[in-house]
Structure 1
């Protein structure tokens, strides 16, 4: 979408708000964040004879929300760019960094039923399967429609999406190829809450366009995979427990069936100014020497940076159809001041499936440190450092790169997210 079309959409929204006598509130927020990163083995093992990378990336987002008695409108536009990616005094910005992040309407039929239509974030539970991916500057959205029901401590969402590149007179082939970019998606989500516990159930059906031809660019049918499972939270005295279990089945492609699973469990306990945590996650994988089915679980549309180490070696645009993962981790969050804390987290990684030649399944150990300081109202600073101690077996799943080079990553992030404007637009209040 061009900049002119996005600006035009904002103008139409603002005009609509000013003339609608039923309008109740208008809210405008800003989200400006800049992040410096030093990458020396981030996301993959660091190769020989290569220089580390360093850069600053920035997101500038404007959120406009409107609420009436039975109607909500929300539009979020953003610019995501790397410092220096546009030449100074360039007449036309050619880096295509400006985009429409969200644009949806929610219609409330009554106190229980509503529908939400348009470009939107879909996020549930711990964001393992569906999440907003706020760590990534661009975030994650879906062009979807959702029917929503909520009454008391029960909520039900039923949603779906159908993706096309452009309007056509003939054919429905979807030529946009990307990492798990779906052609069609349908899901149902149910959540029940109690005083101190919750339980949810998700069924997700996603269809991916198949291709054929010399250049693999001719649409040829759709393969569907299903993901179903549960997420739950409950206390055991002063210990908070949370966990999940999901199963994936269906097709990876027209010739390969899928049978995969995920289970996780984490316990957290607070003592004084320290929060302790101990957890594990198992994501099934496919043997490197081959298997009768694809047994590799992939968490699809979650906030994967949140899981399995902040260095993103697994399931962040990588590790699909691979040997899976066994992740055992421990963490502690120390309160270091009135407005600051320090997170220390350690992961022990192992392959879930067999590596070629029956190599050792131990992949490596990662240490993550994150310091957070609230500098003032609306302004927060994060400083992070991570180090991967990779084993020889890590090379087998990372393209044969050497495992014994230093693999570390450091970053500093500043987040500024003030409320710019809030107004009650009812005529009776004027």
Structure 2
């Protein structure tokens, strides 16, 4: 018994010595979500039936800090309930690394971060985490940051390959971008926040059967936000140029929101987004449709994901006018957002006649309830009232009921922390 006491005391002594000036915490996120999809992302066809399922994110997050060194490791499993048998010996999706990075703070102003990490800036229109998606979004990158008071400059770099190759591959790398470089600068003047982004993305393609090339697309612009008493406003302006699959790129984006807090609990805002596109009778090979690239696109242009969530690329563009109504009461939050969609460029019918530009109206209703500190429940109902023009672009039948229902519970406990 005496020996056990000595061993135990020695063990705790070693922990105390090793953990001096160190911080470590571990947390979990368990997030099951039920969805009923009936015309989600595209109008449902007469021959199709609605579907429902439960997906789940299970994430373990480890953070460590020692003096100037910070590290993070986030592991996750994404599953659909029932995608493996109850007696399975292996998981279908297994465990994936969501984040795995190390950051060194050279001083109070300079730092560098290397590894798998989230790149999220401003309102996440161009670079975001896409947290709604169970898998999220992260990048293998290096980021150098200069952040004196009220200013921040981030320089990011990435180079991707499909394996540790011995020689240059003979097939194009298409998993994601081949290379990425960006500069993001943010400054604050009293109540005005201003950001500038310049990003260069390279995508590899096969120009011929034996000739692989990388075309580079530039995305550049600014994001402004201003708050004054009960008012808040934000504005985003971006352009795109360069090349894509050996074609010229010339596209642009504009988005604005004006918000006003009617009371301490009720807020309303009016917004508009314009994403450039291309007329269907335009014979030019140029890409004129703006692409939000790595943005959290689910948070824009309606929650039913009809536009720019893995779809509507190189299309006729989009005009989206919307109104947001938000109400908060104790632990409850309610939100209602109607969207009015239209095509800013020509859509042709089967006989090459110009169609009406109106695409449809979507209504999004969501509610959130903070059950406890680490438990949040949320739910939503959305419905798309589509037009014949939307039918032409997306297929399906606008006369059918096209709606989407979801219910989600998020458990986010911190399971261990020490300093």
TM-score, with normalisation over the residues of structure 2? 0.92
Find the counterpart in structure 2 of residue 220 from structure 1. Answer: 212
The 5-angstrom pairing of residues 8-27 of structure 1 reads: 20=18, 23-27=21-25
- Correspondence for 2:244 among 240, 249, 252: 252
CA-to-aligned-CA distance 1:3-44 (integer Å, 9 cap, x gap): xxxxxxxxxxxxxx9985555100111111010000000011
- Correspondence for 2:334 among 331, 342, 352: 342
Find the counterpart in structure 1 of residue 146 from structure 2. Answer: 149
The 5-angstrom pairing of residues 121-132 of structure 1 reads: 121-132=118-129
- Correspondence for 1:59 among 54, 57, 60: 57
Q: Does 1:230 align with 2:222?
A: yes
Structure 2 counterpart SS, 1:394: helix
CA distance in 1, matches of 2:107, 2:268: 43
Q: Does 1:166 align with 2:163?
A: yes
Find the counterpart in structure 2 of residue 39 from structure 1. Answer: 37
- Indicate conservation of the 8 Å contact 2:272/2:320, yes or no: yes
CA distance in 1, matches of 2:172, 2:77: 26
Q: Does 1:404 align with 2:399?
A: yes
- Indicate conservation of the 8 Å contact 2:207/2:213, yes or no: no
Q: Does 1:278 align with 2:270?
A: yes
CA distance in 2, matches of 1:421, 1:225: 44
CA-to-aligned-CA distance 1:100-135 (integer Å, 9 cap, x gap): 100000011111111000000000000000000000
CA-to-aligned-CA distance 1:359-413 (integer Å, 9 cap, x gap): 1111000000001111112101111000000000001211x32222111000000
- Correspondence for 1:364 among 357, 360, 376: 360
Find the counterpart in structure 1 of residue 12 from structure 2. Answer: none
| Total equivalences in the alignment | 399
CA-to-aligned-CA distance 1:265-308 (integer Å, 9 cap, x gap): 10111122211010000000011122422210010001000000
CA distance in 1, matches of 2:101, 2:214: 28
Return the offset for 1:237: 5.3
CA distance in 2, matches of 1:211, 1:168: 18
- Please say which of residues 342-351 and 17-26 is displaced more in the overlay: 17-26
CA distance in 1, matches of 2:227, 2:96: 42
Could you list the runs of 5+ residues in structure 2 that have no partner in the other structure? Answer: 1-14
- Please say which of residues 227-236 and 360-369 is displaced more in the overlay: 227-236
Q: Does 1:415 align with 2:406?
A: no
Distance 1:57 1:392, change over 3 A: same
Question: In angstroms, what is the RMSD of aligned CA positions?
Answer: 1.7
CA distance in 1, matches of 2:25, 2:190: 32
Structure 1 counterpart SS, 2:36: strand
- Indicate conservation of the 8 Å contact 2:173/2:205, yes or no: no
Structure 2 counterpart SS, 1:358: coil
Distance 1:289 1:372, change over 3 A: same
Structure 2 counterpart SS, 1:302: coil
- Indicate conservation of the 8 Å contact 2:275/2:318, yes or no: yes
CA distance in 2, matches of 1:92, 1:418: 27
Structure 1 counterpart SS, 2:399: coil
CA distance in 1, matches of 2:110, 2:338: 44
Largest Rg, 1 or 2: 2
Find the counterpart in structure 2 of residue 12 from structure 1. Answer: none
- Indicate conservation of the 8 Å contact 1:165/1:174, yes or no: no
Distance 1:412 1:167, change over 3 A: same
Could you list the runs of 5+ residues in structure 1 that have no partner in the other structure? Answer: 1-16, 425-430
CA distance in 2, matches of 1:159, 1:121: 12
TM-score, with normalisation over the residues of structure 1? 0.90
Find the counterpart in structure 1 of residue 231 from structure 2. Answer: 239
CA distance in 1, matches of 2:239, 2:386: 29
Distance 1:201 1:351, change over 3 A: same
